[in-house]
């Protein structure tokens, strides 16, 4: 199956933000999309991999994107999350603690991914596996080189040439997903051997990879569009609202301001700055998509630009952004489940997150936002 040529007039892209256990919020939105597609097609077994051609994600979004590209129904992905969440967030009792320790152990999440993404014969699936039914983007950060590493199974990509040693398509799929989820301080980095194809000597380098959220691409939507269209990525899909659609799904947006505290101590800043940078980057990626695309749906970005939902004769793609702010009322309601708030690892909020996502999806998701064919 040729994944590089969409079989429909309009290429369909789907992107998932990072956000830890809040991925359950995103999955409920994805489930609503899947339900609407099933109703329209009359096929009760349709999965999102039957509709979308390129699916991408960062961190928890990488797990979701890979599972959907694998051909799973959204309900199956939700079940995987609920059954394995507490396993993935297993405390690292062997951690050295202090500034050198990690909150959670490497092996539980590694074992979950390693055991799931396998071929029919039980061997580890690679990035180039035929079991992926769509093109897939996994966003990571190479902590050794200090650069974002978006990795795709596009067979035309520069480093996916099977005639050369060290083809990225031969990398274990589970390791790449694990790398995208290796949030600093939460999980240890993922160590992967990469062959340097640029030197001509097939030199093998050992790199440490960490969460793709530690790049500007915790919201990977605009990056996904770029990798589908920029000539250097060797896919070159046609652009225009009639030729491409992009659905971007968030995990719930948390306020990162400090309210009436006009000054903050160093420890407080150390906690706030990473979240503030990630949130600002997500906002910017969303703004780029709304500017370049024809935005059919999205919550207001701010009081100055609004939601930018309007016709755009120069649009590069149709665009819908599904996400909403987590309000003070949500925090109070979540207190019935847990007092830890909407942290990335608060598995006690799984029911709450599912309810929030389902209610939001029922209220706002529409086929007209991304597929008016």
Tell me, what's the pLDDT at 103? Answer: 76
Coil, strand, or helix at residue 296?
Answer: strand
Condensed to tens digits (0 to 9), the pLDDT of residues 161-198 reads: 988 888 999 999 999 999 999 888 788 899 999 888 77
Let me know if 82 is exposed, middle or buried by CB neighbors in 10 A (0-12, 13-18, 19+): middle
Give yes or no for residue 199 having a pLDDT over 70. Answer: no
Tell me, what's the pLDDT at 131? Answer: 98
Let me know if 2 is exposed, middle or buried by CB neighbors in 10 A (0-12, 13-18, 19+): exposed
Going by C-alpha positions, the residue among 47, 65, 46, 68 that lies closest to residue 57 is 65
Mean pLDDT, range 126-144, rounded to an integer: 98
Condensed to tens digits (0 to 9), the pLDDT of residues 38-62 reads: 999 999 999 999 999 999 999 999 9
CB count within 10 Å of CB 257 equals 9
% residues pLDDT > 90 (the chain): 71
Tell me, what's the pLDDT at 271? Answer: 66
Which residues lie closer than 8 Å to 257 by C-beta, 6 or more apart? none
For residue 10, give Cα distances in angstroms to 6, 16, 52, 248.
8, 20, 10, 16
Condensed to tens digits (0 to 9), the pLDDT of residues 302-312 reads: 999 999 999 99
Dist. CA 343–CA 326, nearest whole Å: 12
Higher pLDDT, 106 or 318: 318
Let me know if 364 is exposed, middle or buried by CB neighbors in 10 A (0-12, 13-18, 19+): middle
Give yes or no for residue 268 having a pLDDT over 70. Answer: no
Architecture field, domain 11-369: 3-Layer(aba) Sandwich (3.40)
Give yes or no for residue 98 having a pLDDT over 50. Answer: no
Strand partners, 151: 138
Tell me, what's the pLDDT at 29? Answer: 98
Q: Read out DSSP for 173-233?
A: HHHHHHHHT--TTTSPPEEEEEEESSSSS-EEEEEEEEEGGGTTTSS-HHHHHHHHH-GGG
């Amino acid at each position: 199956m040729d994944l590089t040529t969409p079989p429909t007039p309009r290429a369909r892209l789907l992107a998932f933000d990072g956000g830890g256990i809040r991925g359950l919020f995103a999955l409920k939105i994805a489930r609503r999309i899947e339900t609407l597609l099933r109703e329209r097609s009359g096929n009760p077994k349709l999965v999102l991999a039957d509709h979308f051609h390129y699916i991408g994600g960062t961190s928890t979004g990488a797990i979701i994107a890979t599972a959907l590209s694998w051909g799973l129904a959204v309900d199956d992905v939700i079940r995987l999350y609920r059954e394995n969440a507490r396993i993935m967030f297993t405390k690292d009792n062997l951690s050295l603690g202090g500034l050198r320790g990690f909150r959670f152990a490497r092996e539980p999440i590694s074992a979950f991914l390693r055991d799931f993404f396998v071929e029919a014969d039980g061997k580890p699936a690679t990035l180039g596996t035929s079991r992926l039914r769509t093109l897939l983007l996994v966003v990571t950060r190479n902590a050794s080189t200090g650069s974002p590493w978006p990795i795709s199974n596009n067979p035309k990509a520069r480093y996916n040439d099977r005639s050369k040693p060290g083809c990225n398509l031969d990398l274990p799929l589970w390791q790449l997903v694990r790398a995208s989820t290796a949030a600093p301080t939460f999980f240890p980095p993922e160590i992967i051997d990469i062959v340097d194809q640029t030197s001509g000597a097939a030199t093998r380098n050992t790199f440490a990879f960490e969460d793709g959220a530690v790049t500007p691409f915790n919201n990977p939507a605009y990056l996904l569009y770029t990798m589908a269209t920029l000539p250097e990525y060797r896919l070159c899909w046609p652009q225009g609202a009639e030729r491409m659609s992009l659905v971007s799904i968030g995990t719930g947006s948390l306020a990162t301001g400090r309210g009436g505290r006009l000054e903050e101590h160093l420890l407080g800043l150390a906690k706030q700055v990473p979240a503030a940078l990630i949130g600002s980057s997500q906002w910017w990626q969303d703004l780029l998509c709304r500017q370049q695309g024809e935005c059919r749906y999205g919550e207001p970005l701010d009081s100055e630009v609004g939601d930018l939902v309007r016709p755009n004769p120069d649009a590069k793609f149709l665009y819908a952004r599904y996400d909403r702010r987590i309000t003070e009322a949500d925090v109070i309601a979540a207190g019935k489940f847990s007092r830890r708030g909407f942290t990335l690892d608060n598995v006690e909020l799984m029911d709450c997150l599912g309810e929030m996502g389902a209610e939001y999806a029922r209220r706002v998701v529409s086929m007209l936002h991304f597929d008016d064919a």
